[in-house]
Structure 1
Amino acid sequence: MFENGDLILRYLERLGVEYVFGVPGGSIEPFYDALARSERRGGIRTITARHETGAAFMAEGYARETGRIGVCCSTAGPGATNLLTGVASAYADGIPMLVITAQTALDRFGQGSLQETSCTGIHTVEMFARCTRYNTLVSHPAQLETKLLQAVSHAVSNQPGPAHLAIPLDVMRHRIPDNVIDGALNAFTNHEVAPSERFIQSALGELDPAKKVTLVLGEGAAEASELLIRIAESRRWLMVTTPRGKGLIDSFHPLYRGVFGFAGHDSATDALKVENADRVVAIGTALDEVSTCGWDPTTILSDRLIHISNNPAHLSRSTMARLVVLGSPKVLFESLAKVWSIRPTSQASRSISSDERLPVNTRLDDPDKCFDRSGRIKSQALMTYMSRICPLDTRVLMDTGNSFLWGIHYWNVRRPTNMPPEINHFHIGLGFAAMGWAIGTSVGMAAAGRQHPVVCFTGDGSYLMSGQELTIALQENLNILMLVLNDASLGMVSHGQKLSGGEQVATRLPSVDFSMMARALGVESYRVESMEQLADLDITEILSRPGPCLVDVIVDGDQVPPLGSRMKVLTSSIQTDK
């Protein structure tokens, strides 16, 4: 027996996919039948999430770790609507994903079927329209193969993101010949778009005579990052990263000035001021709030800007730039490096080492707190300590809330010498900023790279939303260390209320012992209330073996996270309203 569900899985196998993340149900049952057949023959298998939003986050984590498309699925009705937040998160961060949702049988559309989500019911295809790159109902069995190939093509394009197929039960169950798979996958190559010679010469004309240049590396600069570092070293240019680009440069590189934007560093802002940068070169980033420090007009958003990206969506707001280049940053800078006689290899850029406890050239808000061991745990000290003791191949995720604020500002990235330049071990879900994002994403990432440890920083509010996904790490024996920053509060909201002069309301959480919760789930766990207790844990040993572990970290909730740029936006909106 060979059905359309089997056809989908055979194509996904050709793309290197290993897992489908989802939750089963009645209307999606034929696809799970195909997954069962696949698993029996050693092919793609399913990982069952505890909630469909978690399944989408897991698919995102898988895509981030492997560079391949992540796949998630759900049944009709609430299964599909539960996926929405996770899909929107992947859309906002440009993560390639195939999203499969079920529909009731075509001949039952409009008749009030259980969990009906057709165009005459709860119209889920319409719901997905604004958070996908491709979105369609497969309304006839003959459409499925073509629409599947189109969906994957959109998902992994130069403007990547989720693609959604809504597939009725009878279409998924439709039988087909077992030799039907013959579609070419040529369209799925993420092609490098070479900038035109005219734009290469324009960039050379702008940068060659410039005395002071600052590079801004966003997430889309990954493949060119090593080359950009070599060029910066040769020409003595300064470098900063956006929050999403953090991790592409070793924090201790002498030319690195830190993160510019959301939760960033004053040293990065200074590096972009007119007195320090004749030209600002932004690579692979969109000019959104988090990457422009709340649209600061004195730094990136000026006529000194040269904006380069392979993704056309990144360039849509570059109205003030003196030069905008659509194309591969790597191809562009290879041409410039050749003109400047910069050698293709450089030991300096690949082997940054430092005995400094903190980066010398990155100005932190509270450097003294990085080594403060008094009282309750300071998040500044937690990030500094963990970034120093975690193995160099550790994948690190910072969840929405205080976790990603502390992580962006205080986590020190150390890149091993053998690390491919396009790989980034520091991850945040900043586009849509969904609470609980890091929990599910860490599961998908750990499943994709079982030989590497994964460390997930999350807050108590996020854990109360999505902590049940940790049971998957137990079931799959995944190497995940979950650190819950526990201050019995929705910390980021609470501090935002205080800083903006708002009412102090609705942010208190119960005092929960998350180590006891984890123990009840069968997960190894610890509770630490001081840095001394944290230091007594053998983190290196914990991260050297499979299986999850949770540490309930009692943090000092009075410490104010680096919220400056966010508060500037929020308070200016309040003033405008008045």
Structure 2
Amino acid sequence: MLECGDLILRYLERMGVRYVFGVPGGSIEPLYNALARSERRGGIRAVLARHETGAAFMADGYARETGLIGVCCATAGPGATNLLTGVANAYADNVPMLVITAQTSLNRFGQGAFQESSCTGVNTMDMFASCTRYNTFVSHPEQLETKLLHAFSHALGQQPGPVHLSIPLDVMRHEVEDSSYSPFRKPFVPNDVIPDPVTVQSVVDDLADIKQATIVLGEDAADSADQWVQLAELRGWNLVTTPRAKGLVNSFHPQNRGVFGFAGHQSATEAVGPQDAERVITVGAALDEVSTAGWSPDGLLSERLIHLSRNPGHLVRAIMAGHAVLGDPRSVADQLLAAARKTGLPAPALKAHGSDGVPDFVGGNFREGCFATSGPIKPQALMTYLSRVCPEQTRALFDTGNSFLWGIHHWNVGRPEQPLCSKNLFNIGIGFAAMGWAIGASVGMALADDSVPVVCVTGDGSYLMSGQELATASQENCNVLMVVLNDSSLGMIRHGQALGGAEQIANELPSINYAMMAEALGVETYRVSTLEELHRLDLASILARPGPCLLDILVDGNEVPPMGVRMKVLNETK
């Protein structure tokens, strides 16, 4: 006989899932009993987070790294509500997750049971309804298998995201026959849709004689990025990425004009403008505030736009586009490449830029800061140096705040004249932008692949919210380098208030030695106040050994991050 918890784990195991992230409690105990049995036979293992929000962030990072579904769980009541922020963050970024929350026993609904979160208590089902692709209550054991498979199908669909099963204690504990697990039943995972041939041909015809065009790669272009780069090389077109897709193009590629949108580069703004681009071919981008530079009409959002995506949620925002194509962008890229090769024109000679170690698209005062070596550490110089000395396969995550502003603008992906792997190694949780996301997500990412180092860049404000998850990284011996930008403030808030003419209030943090905090957790740690001190660290050796390490970096808090796009949007309401 199996319990319902064992049945859930059997299906997860078949899908390749290795971990369930969460915090135990009374109402979720049967699932943890099943996890204990699973661990004993070498199956799926429980990872103990320090807070349920951290568990959801870990599941998010695990899903991003593996391409599988991330799984997190929580007990009834506050356990479930603590998950919400992490689940909402995954929903906004289309990250597939299975979220399992407990309920008290059915026969105690409406009686004020301990941590009751049923329809007659603090209704957690209602709370999850707006941040999941599928949200269901399992009221009978006979429903579980069908609803579980439905949930997988929604999570991994063309519009992926979190799904939620709410399961009462007595239902989870219910015993079922071994035969209830059927190896023949499986979720429907959508195949890639081939775009309409007539629509694709119209795109090919439209682009045939276009001399100036810009290809903008979004977060869902990972599978076809190599083809679009080849097309740009053949046609002599510009390459640009959205903030989420920064890692899909080598920072030193000769036609890379940088990031367009939130914390992006002026050269990218020019590259998508009407003077430099007769057409803007955008692949797999959300067309939200972040990727459109605050919905700028001179950027992506014009009749010059050709928008390709397999996610219909992206395309509904392309109401102004000359062409909107639903389906696998690879098939469109293949036809455009074939048409370009038929012309017989030689590809232009290309030479990588950034001979001084900084890509040409980084300009002005931001560029000057990349070479500053004396005085307080400039975030520009820190990002430039770390991205150069970290191994090429390093997974880099940047937290909400100044961390992702500096990361988007200054973290360099790849090396001159070297191809990237077909994976986005640059990660931000920017749709919902929850502070502390990168801390938990870095743990999930490190557990997903222990053969590569993970670097998490976070601010002191985010670290004070979620830094306790470093204890989980230590317990699991994760290869995570935690980089804390320590300026004793909520930096993005402070600079935003100054730039927007707001009152300077509630942005100061106490002066804290985060190295000592990490040392108390038994974590290797270094407090760094100058670049010379950072240069003396053997980061290659640190990143090559197992276990986490924390760098407490005293950064120059007076450096204003690239947040002009965000300020423009905020000031539009004045």
Please say whether Structure 1 and Structure 2 have the same fold, judged by a TM-score greater than 0.5. yes
Q: Look up the SS of the partner of 2:243 in the other structure.
A: coil
Q: Look up the SS of the partner of 2:240 in the other structure.
A: strand
Work out whether residues 250 and 352 of structure 1, in 8 Å CA contact, stay in contact via their aligned partners in 2.
no
Q: Look up the SS of the partner of 1:118 in the other structure.
A: coil
- For 1:475 and 1:351, the matched residues in 2 are separated by 46
| Cα displacement (A) at 1:417 | 5.2
Work out whether residues 235 and 347 of structure 2, in 8 Å CA contact, stay in contact via their aligned partners in 1.
no
Match runs of 1:219-230 below 5 Å: 219-230=219-230
Tell me, yes or no, if structure 1 residue 133 matches structure 2 residue 122: no
Match runs of 1:166-315 below 5 Å: 166-182=166-182, 184=184, 187-315=187-315
Cα pair distance change 1:243/1:365, threshold 3 Å: farther
Work out whether residues 58 and 444 of structure 2, in 8 Å CA contact, stay in contact via their aligned partners in 1.
yes
| Cα displacement (A) at 1:420 | 3.8
| Cα displacement (A) at 1:184 | 4.1
Match of 2:557 in 1: 557
Tell me, yes or no, if structure 1 residue 535 matches structure 2 residue 535: yes
Work out whether residues 194 and 332 of structure 1, in 8 Å CA contact, stay in contact via their aligned partners in 2.
no
- For 1:72 and 1:168, the matched residues in 2 are separated by 16
Match of 1:153 in 2: 153
Match of 1:447 in 2: 447
Work out whether residues 268 and 362 of structure 1, in 8 Å CA contact, stay in contact via their aligned partners in 2.
no
- For 1:163 and 1:252, the matched residues in 2 are separated by 39
- For 1:188 and 1:511, the matched residues in 2 are separated by 52
- For 1:361 and 1:70, the matched residues in 2 are separated by 36
- For 1:250 and 1:226, the matched residues in 2 are separated by 11
| Cα displacement (A) at 1:160 | 0.3
Q: Look up the SS of the partner of 2:370 in the other structure.
A: helix
Matched residues, percent identical? 61
- For 2:13 and 2:90, the matched residues in 1 are separated by 22
Tell me, yes or no, if structure 1 residue 519 matches structure 2 residue 519: yes
Match runs of 1:289-368 below 5 Å: 289-341=289-341, 355-363=355-363, 365-368=365-368
Aligned length: 571
- For 2:352 and 2:143, the matched residues in 1 are separated by 53
Of the structure 1 ranges 263-272 and 348-357, higher mean CA displacement relative to structure 2 is found in 348-357
TM-align CA RMSD: 1.9
Match runs of 1:345-424 below 5 Å: 355-363=355-363, 365-414=365-414, 419-421=420-422, 423-424=423-424
Work out whether residues 204 and 335 of structure 2, in 8 Å CA contact, stay in contact via their aligned partners in 1.
no
| Cα displacement (A) at 1:351 | 11
| Cα displacement (A) at 1:354 | 6.5
Work out whether residues 231 and 342 of structure 1, in 8 Å CA contact, stay in contact via their aligned partners in 2.
no
Work out whether residues 50 and 468 of structure 1, in 8 Å CA contact, stay in contact via their aligned partners in 2.
yes
Cα pair distance change 1:132/1:347, threshold 3 Å: farther
| Cα displacement (A) at 1:176 | 0.7
| Cα displacement (A) at 1:419 | 4.8
Work out whether residues 265 and 361 of structure 2, in 8 Å CA contact, stay in contact via their aligned partners in 1.
no
Match of 1:72 in 2: 72
Structure 2: gaps spanning 5 or more residues: none
| Cα displacement (A) at 1:472 | 0.8
| Cα displacement (A) at 1:335 | 2.2
Match of 1:21 in 2: 21
Q: Deviations over 1:127-186 (max 9, x none)?
A: 000000000000111000000000011001110000000011111111011122115465
- For 1:342 and 1:485, the matched residues in 2 are separated by 51
Work out whether residues 527 and 553 of structure 1, in 8 Å CA contact, stay in contact via their aligned partners in 2.
yes
- For 1:408 and 1:459, the matched residues in 2 are separated by 15
| Cα displacement (A) at 1:347 | 12
Structure 1: gaps spanning 5 or more residues: none
Work out whether residues 250 and 420 of structure 2, in 8 Å CA contact, stay in contact via their aligned partners in 1.
no
Match of 1:59 in 2: 59
| Cα displacement (A) at 1:376 | 0.7
Match runs of 1:105-116 below 5 Å: 105-116=105-116
- For 2:392 and 2:117, the matched residues in 1 are separated by 46
Q: Look up the SS of the partner of 1:136 in the other structure.
A: strand
